[in-house]
Structure 1
Amino acid sequence: MDRRLLMLALGMFAIGTDNFVVAGILPGVAESLHTSVSLAGQMVTVYALSYAVMAPVMAAVAGSWPRKLLLVSALGIFVVGNVVSALATDLNTVLLSRALAGLGAAMFAPTALGVAALLADPARRGRALSTVTAGLAAATALGAPLGTFIGGFGGWRSTLWFVAALGLVSMIGVWTMLRSVPQPASFTLRERVAPVRDIRIALTLLTSMFAFGGFLMVYTYAGLVLRGVTGGDERILAGMLLVWGVAATAGTVVAGRLVDRFDSRSIVNAALGVAILNFCALPWTSVHLASATIALTIWGLIGWGLIVPQQHRLVRIAPQVAPLVLALNNTATYTGLACSGVLGGLVLLFVDARYLSLVGALLIAIALVLAAMTPESSGRRSVQREGRQPASPLGSRQSRARHP
């Protein structure tokens, strides 16, 4: 295993912890800031929206930066955002600081995935992507439950200090251990969105948006959805999130091996079908410890296992612009998260939280339809011909010479 991939996974762990730990502290934030859980839930929306909008923008603006400098700067911004959140005394400041943290994540995650795809041999690209993505999933297994547990004793501010410390450790690790990093070509913002003109890529991105919108809408309000089994105890909720996170980590590892052996499209379709059934049953399985544990395990395995085949499909369609399409996939995923946070908050105004998973199942069903509609080939001009340097994923002979 390339140690550089492990350093990238460490940074994803910090970002993932920040993203998913909020679900466990929303009730505490709402009570402390004298607001509703639905409004506090917009912490997730603002973070995700900042990520979705800024990922392609920053990829274009900072495209010529050395990869190591970009990764370290991103983590620095991420740490500052969380420190401000931990010190904030009103909801507006919290939301603004969440946007700042989302900017740091937007700079880091697509860069890390693009570097991982370039470091790996084509035959092992799936495993490389799954290694970095596993850092994100491991955050749900360890970081988010631990942060929720800390919040149960020291309040939600202590959770955000914990996240800031994780980001700082990750920043130091990337700076000291990530030595040689490939430098991709610099693309304008217009060139970065050019791949969506390929119908296969457009439909794959829409699949990610709706699927993860459904998955993460329910996760955002997990404290309410699982109240029947947790009784509102954040420590029990942390244990349930731990089950979900361990399954998520296993899902990314297994998926990385599956996509190197089987067709990604078949894996995606099967996973979405099982996820729909699981979410439709969740209003009843979530009220008993045994059945809730099984449901969370299936949810974690499939929800995170879906990321790798989606990434693999995009890289297979457009290998010459892999960093571009991976950045767009992150944007699609976080757009789904941002919209689902708003949608979930609206649904909770009229529907009992127990039935929120039915709305999530509907979004996942739309994703399944989109995935089934995605053609194996496209009559449009191949995205490999988009951009200024189609010959190499690194974009030029000069950048290829810098490839380790």
Structure 2
Amino acid sequence: MIGTVWPLVVAAVSLGIDAYVLAGVLPQIADSLTATVGAIGLGVTAFTGAYAVAGPLLSGRFVAGSTRRGLLVALGVFNAGNLITAVAPNLEVFLASRVLSGVGAGVLTALATSAAAALVATERRGRAMALVTFGLSAGTVAGVPTGMLIGHHVGWRWTMGLVVAVGLVSMLAVLLRSQAMPPLDAGGARVAVILTPQVAIGVALAFVFGLASLGLYTYLLPMAAERGVGSWGFTFVWAWGVGGVAGSMVAGPLIDGLGSRRLLPGVAVLLVASFAALALLDGPAAWLVAIALWGACGWGGVPVLQDVLTRSRQERTTSVVAFQMAAMYLGASAGSALGSALLGAGTSAGDLPLAATATGVLAVPLAFLVLGSRRTRAGGATPSEPESRAQAGTGRT
């Protein structure tokens, strides 16, 4: 199946690098632009905030008439923003460029995920969507540490040059794909979709995931330094990424085999447990295990929730994924801003895992509420996963 969706996976790799690479070079950027680490951290907020707004508002317009063209335009906007970041002369241009890049990324994630799901048969949707998440996590595990090394040796601007180079390769991959791209819903992210109880609660759950998980990751290095394991910072970044790759690889077969409804509560519980371990335990060994689990659940939970929300409404996959990912990155934006505010108010970076635990606890009841909100269509219940698979005789292979 990788042969079918590989251009979308490559595009996701570039997203994975860009979304998290700044976390590894925040101090260098701050020194270069004569700003504080907290101010540069707002670049993450700017990126994720734009990501959250652009997905629902623009994804349908980008694919009107051609899915391939929509993907290429989104990649073009994304790459342009990153190029401006690489040459930014001051904080203001830096933040504006992160907004532009976030717009392209928000649209691209929704289009790549829904296109991957549409390219395969229904019984393989879980694997297809998880492959896009795999691209995101692989970009993080390979690209972010590489970007850190580049930043430390030749400067953070060359780190962003790496992101631009991978983004250009992504555009080439989409252009070279010989098979036709399936048409996607060009109606945009429709309000009627998010007003259904299950999707509304799922979007709230995605926000909590982003608030706790992605928001905390922004401050992984200062958090480790404050707790006396700063020398392990590079290893922790790898552990989070490796956990994410493993989680996204395992999630697809588990979704299609066991069903996403069985997986969702467990993902939420384990994610909160990983935060609690970071808050309560000390030492590099305990932190390595907890951070790997955090990465696995944070990344693996993305396709699990996507499948729960879209399996019974496949014709609205673009809209649902746009709202879900918008909520997750809006949560990440809020989490990053909250972290910056807490640090600015004098909170120790070492106490941030405790804050993530307190907010992440909300994910557990929300996961069960998503599963309980099954009546999403007028006059009828949402089909169960086996029923929806049985009705899927028209899927592509």
TM-score, scaled relative to structure 2: 0.91
Tell me if the contact between 1:201 and 1:317 (Cα under 8 Å) persists in the aligned partners.
no
Q: Which moved more, 1:260-269 or 1:224-233?
A: 224-233
Task: Kindly provide the amino acid, as one letter, of the partner of residue 344 in structure 1.
Answer: G
Q: Contact between 1:24 and 1:237, CA under 8 Å: does it hold in 2?
A: no
CA contact (8 A) 2:227 2:350 kept: no
1:138 is aligned to: 138
Q: Is residue 2:120 matched to residue 1:111?
A: no
Measured after TM superposition, the shift of residue 3 of structure 1 is 2.0
208, 211, 234: which one aligns with 1:213 = 211
Unaligned runs of 5+ in 2: 383-393
The residue type paired with residue 55 of structure 1 is G
Structure-1 residue corresponding to 2:86: 86
Whole-Å separation in 1 of the counterparts to 2:178 and 2:354: 43
Which deviates more from structure 2 when the two are superposed, residues 364-373 or residues 16-25? 364-373
Which residue identity lines up with residue 378 of structure 2 in the other structure? R
Report runs of 4+ in structure 1 exceeding 6 Å deviation: 382-385
Percent of aligned pairs with the same residue? 31
1:4 Cα deviation after fit: 3.5
Aligned-partner Cα distance in 1 for 2:290–2:29:
27
Partner of 1:388: none
Q: Trace 1:58-69 onto structure 2 (pairs within 5 A).
A: 58-69=58-69
Give the C-alpha shift of residue 81 in structure 1.
Answer: 0.9
Q: Which residue of 1 aligns with 2:166?
A: 166
Kept in 1: contact 2:75–2:171 (CA 8 A): yes
**Residue 199 of structure 1 corresponds to which residue in structure 2?**
197
3-state SS, counterpart of residue 361 of structure 2: helix
**C-alpha distance in 2 between matches for 1:193 and 1:144:** 36
| Residue number in structure 2 paired with 1:101 | 101
Q: Given residue 187 of structure 2, which amino acid in structure 1 is its aligned partner? A: F
CA distance in 2, matches of 1:65, 1:58: 14
**Matched ranges for 1:273-292 at <5 A:** 273-285=269-281, 287-292=282-287
Answer yes or no: is 1:310 the counterpart of 2:305: yes
Are the counterparts in 2 of residues 275 and 302 from structure 1 also a CA contact under 8 Å? yes
Cα contact 2:271–2:294 (8 A) shared by 1:
yes
Hey, what's the Cα distance between the residues in 2 that align with 1:296 and 1:43? 23
Instruction: Tell me the secondary structure at the aligned position of residue 173 of structure 1.
Output: helix
Do residues 325 (structure 1) and 323 (structure 2) align? Answer: no
**Counterpart in 2 of 1:377?**
374
Residue of structure 2 equivalent to 1:226: 224
Contact 1:7–1:174 (8 Å) recurs in 2: yes
Asked if 1 retains the 8 angstrom alpha-carbon contact of 2:56 and 2:326, the reply is: yes
| Distance in 2, Cα, partners of 1:363 & 1:289 | 24
Q: Which residue of 2 aligns with 1:368?
A: 364
Unaligned runs of 5+ residues in structure 1 are 386-399
- Aligned pair in 2 of structure 1 residues 154, 237: CA closer, same or farther (>3 Å)? farther
Verify the 8 A CA contact 2:52 2:327 in the aligned structure 1.
yes
Distance in 2 of aligned mates of 1:119 and 1:214: 32
What residue number does 2:258 align with? 262
Q: Secondary structure at the match of 1:226?
A: helix
Q: 1:239 aligned to 230, 235, 242, which one?
A: 235
d(CA) in 1 for partners of 2:60, 2:70? 12
Which moves more between the two structures, 264-273 or 116-125?
A: 264-273
Tell me the residue number matched to 2:387. Answer: none
Tell me the distance in 1 between the aligned counterparts of 2:269 and 2:180: 42
- Match of 1:390? none
* 1:146/1:238 contact within 8 Å kept: no
In structure 2, do the counterparts of structure 1 residues 382 and 184 end up closer, same or farther at CA, with 3 Å as the change threshold? Answer: farther
1:7-26 pair list within 5 angstroms? 7-26=7-26
State whether residues 321 and 384 of structure 1, in contact with CA within 8 Å, keep that contact through their aligned partners in structure 2.
no
What is the aligned counterpart of 1:298 among 293, 318, 322? 293
Q: RMSD of the TM alignment (CA)?
A: 2.2
Cα gap change, 1:154 to 1:379, in 2 (>3 Å): closer
Q: Secondary structure at the match of 1:240?
A: helix
Q: TM-score, normalised by structure 1?
A: 0.89
Mapped pair 1:357 → 2:353: yes
Aligned residue identity for 1:381: A
Q: Distance in 2 between matches of 1:345 and 1:383?
A: 46
Contact kept? 1:47, 1:98, Cα under 8 Å: yes
Q: What is the CA–CA distance in structure 2 between the aligned matches of 1:177 and 1:61, rounded to whole Å?
A: 22
Show the counterpart of 1:339: 334
1:99-153 deviation per Cα after TM superposition (whole angstroms, max 9, x unaligned): 1111111221111111111111111110111111100011121011111121111
Post-superposition CA distance 1:229-288 (Å, at most 9, x none): 78656xx53332112111101101111111112242332211211222221221354x52
**Counterpart residue identity of residue 6, structure 1:** W
Contact residue 229 and residue 284 of structure 2 kept, 8 A: no
Residue 80 of structure 1: how far off its partner (Å)? 1.3
CA distance in 2, matches of 1:178, 1:369: 45
CA distance in structure 2 between the aligned counterparts of 1:384 and 1:174, rounded to whole angstroms? 38
CA-CA distance at 1:384 after TM superposition: 11
Deviations 1:325-368 (A, max 9, x none): 11111111111111111111111123100110111112211122
Provide the secondary structure at the position in 1 that maps to 2:347. Answer: coil
State the alpha-carbon separation in 1 of the partners of residues 201 and 79 from structure 2. 34
**Residue of structure 1 in register with 2:56 after alignment:** 56
Code of the residue aligned with 1:343 in structure 2: it is L
Instruction: Call closer, same or farther: CA 1:178–1:340 in 2, change over 3 Å.
Output: farther
> AA paired with 2:218?
T
Q: What residue identity is the alignment partner of 1:23?
A: A
